[in-house]
Structure 1
Amino acid sequence: MSSEKSIILFDGVCNLCNASIDFILRRDKKDRFLVGALQEAPGQALLSKYQVAPTYLDSLVLVEKGKVYFRSTAALKISRRLHGLWPLFYPLILLPAFLRDPVYDWIGRNRYRWFGKKNTCRIPTEEEKSKFLTADQINF
């Protein structure tokens, strides 16, 4: 796995999650992230490596410097590395997760109903392929 890049795993069939990945990729001006679907083989291998259940789809997952982050913590850690004003949200990390995560969980529980879902995982465009996680980037 590339040690300098953080990896974001997302629900590959969720329309909101895919829109979020588009948003992140557009603002990742310093090429700091790789992304991958939780449901696909590279994502599943990474979940296994970090002993996360392969059925986990409850939030995006951030793997950064050998540690795994979930839910609002993952989102805030991602925001601090994006181009623009998004790093200004990072101080919210000082709030305890039990205060931050209920809003994240509420949106997560309703994401398919509000935003819909695809029948299959997202396929990266030619321009995006270098940003998507591949099996050979995961070292065991």
Structure 2
Amino acid sequence: MASPYIVVFDGCCNLCEGWVQFVIRRDTKRIFQFVPAQSPEGEALLQRCGIPPDRLETLILLKHQQLFTRSDAVLEILRHLKGRWKWLFWLKIIPRPFRDWIYKCISRHRYRWFGRKVDCAIPRGNRPDHFPLPPYA
């Protein structure tokens, strides 16, 4: 197995959970591991990255100790998926300020547009290799 890439996501966000499920279905190499930001492990990772856990406005990808946020995180994840999705990595030619502006607009309205969970948890389902850390309350 390749060394895992850790994705920290908002476990309360329906859009974010949908994104995680999308990635899991296309992660044939099983290189991604997912950590909800609201878990103790997620909070520790956010703190280590210098991001206040109570102000999470971005998806985070840790790849070999390199930090990717916002549109860079999304594009870097897409780069490693099976199928045509990896070709979307070429959107990286669009200047980051513009990509991140779009990302921030979606992030700012994600609860209103896609809803919010009460318990902020994501089921492990039948893919425990993607959620190797212990579940949290």
Normalised TM-score (structure 1): 0.88
Counterpart code for 1:85: R
Pair 1:132-2:134 in alignment: no
Seen in structure 2, the aligned counterparts of structure 1 residues 106 and 126 have a Cα distance that, compared at 3 Å, is closer
Q: Which position in structure 2 is the counterpart of 1:14?
A: 13
Cα distance in 2 for residues equivalent to 1:123 and 1:103:
26
Gaps of 5+ in 1: 136-140
Superposed CA offset, 1:67-114 (max 9, x none)? 111110000000000011011111111222101111111111111111
In the aligned structure 2, how far is the partner of 1:86 from the partner of 1:126?
A: 23
The number of residue pairs the alignment matches comes to 134
Aligned in 2, Cα 1:133/1:50: closer, same or farther, shift over 3 Å?
farther
How many angstroms apart in 2 are the aligned matches of 1:64 and 1:72?
15
What TM-score results when the alignment is normalised by the length of structure 2?
0.90
Contact 1:18 1:122 in 2 (8 A): no
Q: Corresponding residue for 1:75?
A: 74
Please give the alpha-carbon distance, in whole angstroms, between the structure 1 residues aligned to 2:106 and 2:59: 12
Partner of 2:53, secondary structure, is coil
Aligned residue for 1:55, secondary structure, equals helix
- What fraction of aligned residue pairs are identical, expressed as a percent? 38
Structure 2: gaps (5+ residues)? none
Matched to 2:36, the amino acid is A
Cα deviation for residue 15 of structure 1 reads 0.5
Match of 2:101 in 1: 102
Is this contact kept in 2: 1:42–1:133, CA < 8 A?
no
Contact 1:12 1:121 in 2 (8 A): yes
Contact 1:35/1:131 (8 A) holds in 2: yes
